[in-house]
Amino acid sequence: MNAQKFEYTAPKTLDEALHLLAAGAKPLAGGMSLIPMMKLRLAAPEHLVDLGKLRDLNYIREAAGALHIGATTTHAELESSPILRQKCPLLAETAAAIGDVQVRNMGTIGGSVAHADPSADYPAALQALEAKLVLKGAKSERTVTAAEFFVDAFTTSLDPTEIIREVIVPVEAAGTGARYQKMPQPASGFAIVGVAARVRKSGGKIAFVRIGVTGLSNRSYRATAAEKALEGKAGSAAEIQNAAALVAQGVDANSDLHASAEFRRHLAAVHAARALKAALARTT
């Protein structure tokens, strides 16, 4: 099936793009999510604004103890970035787990995050990293946390006239270990369940732990009950298993043709335990 007819504009400046969005146009980044929806006629925008041509939104740079990532930076660029691999390896590792080579070469972090697919990979990592997102409109700019940004399935706090300008993640402190672990859907590579874990130890005890979950529910989230269960612990196998069992606590799990709610809960505990174990091994 072909997409319905639409107008296409490739602006040369961000201001021009934002002006068009304010007039009712829809943004196009890498197109990995929107174009298939248009071909199936699940989306029928009348006017597309191609953000992928805005090179000033493609960057990875360090400033004030954080890494700033432009919205049109591709998954492949994140995966291969030396500074990201060194200073925020969780995000680079998550980018490497997305789709296939073609998707990683074309897809962008801004487009993926704005689409907010409940089975996307980035949301788990951004929750665990306590990332911030800079949202830009024609006359305004604001910064929100990942927890505030992801509202529901395919629903975010992004206004229709705004775009994600950049994603901000922390430069990891020495001794922090991280890991992204998922059960991929075989055809698409999306996470049936994905878990991102960050851990830091001090004096032989876990002083810091963050766990982000995607795929289990309609939106990504922080597994705070599991985090609290591990804080101050040594991180033994039993303690990890006990914490992992809490990852799905109180969550309304999705059920579809790929996995039942019960199986997703099981996968969440299994992959949380694996992610935590791997993250702890990387703290040394």
CATH of the domain at 33: 3.30.43.10
Q: Are strands 191-202 and 205-214 parallel, antiparallel or unpaired?
A: antiparallel
End-to-end, the C-alpha distance of the chain in Å comes to 53
pLDDT at 1: 65
Is the domain of 69 the same as that of 138?
Answer: yes
Last residue of a domain, one of 170, 204, 227: 170
Residue 2 lies in a domain: no
pLDDT at 113: 97
- Is 250 buried (19+), middle (13-18) or exposed (0-12) by CB count in 10 A? exposed
Is the domain of 89 the same as that of 64?
Answer: yes
Is the domain of 138 the same as that of 195?
Answer: no
Mean pLDDT per 10-residue interval, the chain, length 284 residues:
84 90 86 80 85 88 96 97 98 96 94 95 98 95 98 95 96 96 94 98 95 98 98 97 97 96 98 98 91
Is the domain of 162 the same as that of 60?
Answer: yes
Write out the residue range of the structural domain in which residue 210 sits.
176-281
d(CA 46, CA 4): 8
Is the domain of 38 the same as that of 72?
Answer: no
Is the domain of 117 the same as that of 221?
Answer: no
Residue 247 lies in a domain: yes
Specify the number of domains making up the chain.
3
